[in-house]
Structure 1
Amino acid sequence: MQRILACFGMILLCLFTLSACGQTLGTGELKKAGLLVPETVNDQVWGTKGYKGMLKIQSRFNVDVYYKEGMNSEAVVQRAVKEFDQKGVNLIFGHGNEYAEYFSELSSDYPHIHFVSFNGNATQKNTTSLNFDAYAMGFFGGMLAGHMTKTNHVGIIAAYEWQPEVEGFYEGAIFENKDVEVDIQYVWQWDDVERAQMLLDDMIAKDIDVIYPAGDGYNVPVIEKIKEQGLYAIGYISDQSDLGESTVLTSTVQHVDTLYELVAEQFNKGKLESGNLTFDFQDDVISLGEFSPLVDQKYIDSLNEKIETYKQTGKLPK
């Protein structure tokens, strides 16, 4: 009987050890995490990605997570940070570049909190800015557009001039197709759907047949209209193949949720760096999305080989 009990105890000990090794225990630096978004987490693109990142952090580290929508001014951000602090949050993500400035002002008042923003300039010791090196993803998306256009005329509906993916898309399309013309128009906001659709109408009138709507606040309605016209789109931020596999040739995907989990892991280990950090294909947080069945497999294989070469060497096709 004693032998049976001893064996049973050993089995329980082994099961406990395997369970402990298979999960991240809540013994690191991360206590609770918070997310601030300027608009909503239900936009199917940027905000939704941030929300999914919070869910990954919650599942991975077994900590409470919180989010607040409509955080679009310094005053509301100040109130939200104070509330998060009272809840015991010590890692706060600001889901946009506007938060870098807000966090810089707040950081000295909350030295026990680490503030993370996007595409900004983090200057304090407890602030970090995450930056996607988006040129390459634009380049490969542009290559596909140059390959698939029938009119040799593709278009970019960009939010701002500074977007590296816009320049990359232009260069990639020209690299792939020496005869292609690239029309670039600017919305000057991330979410001005009316202006974006007006620019789309202009592109349709110019016989442009592949369009890259590079703005997360307007790309879904723009792609829906492209679909109605029987034209092609390159999706942006999310894998948007679900909007129409005969419309969306592929998407330039930024895996924000994966990056959030990576950042939380570094913070939990006490290894999250302050300052401005850059991420690309090599970090597995940028990729192309699902390809349309209209794209020939031989070309897909060739493009994937070029992406793999870029991941290994950091060099784009020449």
Structure 2
Amino acid sequence: MLKRFGLILFSLLLLGGCGQPLATGKIEKVGLLVPETINDQVWGTEGYRGLLRIQSRFNIDVFYKEGMKSEALVEAAVKEFDDNGVNLIYGHGNEYAEYFNHISEKYPDIHFISFNGDAKNENTTSLNFDAYAMGFFGGMVAAHMTQSNHLGVIAAFEWQPEVEGFYEGATFYNNDTEVEIHYVGHWDHDEKALEILDRLLSRGADVIYPAGDGYNIPIIERVKEKGLFVIGYVSDQSDLGESTVLTSTVQHVDVLYELVASKYNEENLEPGNLYFDIPDGVISLGEFSPNVDPEFREVMHQHMNTYKATGKLPNE
């Protein structure tokens, strides 16, 4: 316990940077709460990168705390942040929306940011990636590259719009494509996700979309062993194997964090639930594998540019 506290304290001091001048606008200091760790190389790491972008952009003190999995822990962390002069707090997940709805009234001078939740108070905002389109384009790539016409989706929850988008994009590109969808029920359940993967592979799926940021890396490693393909998720995962990762549906959390901090600093951040998509510059496709033919890559780039300009998908 003492070692854990020491590591957190060291992290706070390391990021703090004593004596830095505050930004001239409304933003003062920023805090980040993550449910697991900033070292997962996917979701948590993206949040941490966003925090560093804010620190660099506004030259302010920033703080973070890991392992924030309960309302009691979150409330204690918020009090500590408040004592340190933090007035903008990011809760890096949908669970924080409910926590912040309960806590925020006690801290009217702090604005609370969560993801994929329902923000209900005047000083709470929920950020939502409108991820249907990124899933649609990922599904098109998968349907183009499959040899078996059997795709597998290993999603975390049924509400994820990228899952429906993936199905629609794949079947639009090739109506004969079968898309088999399973749900883990958690972002981080590696064992269950790998069990689902084994079933999908046994039934002939040759392109997998692991739409869960906590387990997609072990999924990619297993698929790589089989010589099959995946569509990466959240971050550009081409570095995990360019022959395996056909492309990635990338959510630029770090860019969104900086964008929201700028809105707050300009006193232009709205409460409630906000939605962001590809035209906002916070969602994209990642690098294409060299296994994806250049002609198809060019077609996909044209589709993406059309969507950015018009908001229309290829089936519209």
The superposition leaves residues 15-35 of structure 1 with CA deviations (integer Å, 9 ceiling, x where unpaired) of xxxxxxxxx982110100000
Point out where structure 1 has 5 or more consecutive residues left out of the alignment: 1-23
Q: For 1:145, what is the secondary structure of its paired residue? A: helix
Give the AA of the match of 1:307. M
Matched, 1:228 2:225: yes
d(CA) in 1 for partners of 2:312, 2:177: 23
Q: 2:148 aligns with which of 146, 151, 159?
A: 151
Q: 2:137 aligns with which of 137, 140, 157?
A: 140
Partner of 1:21: none
Partner of 1:49: 46
Structure 1 residue 178, shift from structure 2 partner: 1.5
Q: For 1:116, what is the secondary structure of its paired residue? A: strand
Q: For 2:28, what is the secondary structure of its paired residue? A: coil
User: In 1, are the aligned partners of 2:153 and 2:210 still within 8 Å (CA)?
Assistant: yes
Partner of 2:12: none
The superposition leaves residues 245-286 of structure 1 with CA deviations (integer Å, 9 ceiling, x where unpaired) of 000000000000000000000111111111110000010000
d(CA) in 2 for partners of 1:26, 1:77: 26
1:128-277 equivalences in 2 (<5 Å): 128-277=125-274
d(CA) in 2 for partners of 1:96, 1:253: 17
Structure 1 residue 207, shift from structure 2 partner: 1.1
User: In 1, are the aligned partners of 2:22 and 2:60 still within 8 Å (CA)?
Assistant: no
What is the TM-score with the length of structure 1 in the denominator? 0.92
Q: For 2:114, what is the secondary structure of its paired residue? A: strand
Give the AA of the match of 1:74. E
Partner of 1:74: 71
Partner of 1:9: none
Partner of 2:298: 301
Point out where structure 2 has 5 or more consecutive residues left out of the alignment: 1-20
Partner of 1:315: 312
Larger Rg: 1
d(CA) in 2 for partners of 1:73, 1:186: 24
d(CA) in 2 for partners of 1:298, 1:45: 30
Partner of 2:276: 279
RMSD: 0.9
d(CA) in 1 for partners of 2:281, 2:22: 24
4+ runs deviating over 2 angstroms: none
Partner of 1:122: 119
User: In 1, are the aligned partners of 2:140 and 2:166 still within 8 Å (CA)?
Assistant: yes
Partner of 1:11: none
What is the TM-score with the length of structure 2 in the denominator? 0.92
Partner of 1:28: 25
Give the AA of the match of 1:254. Q
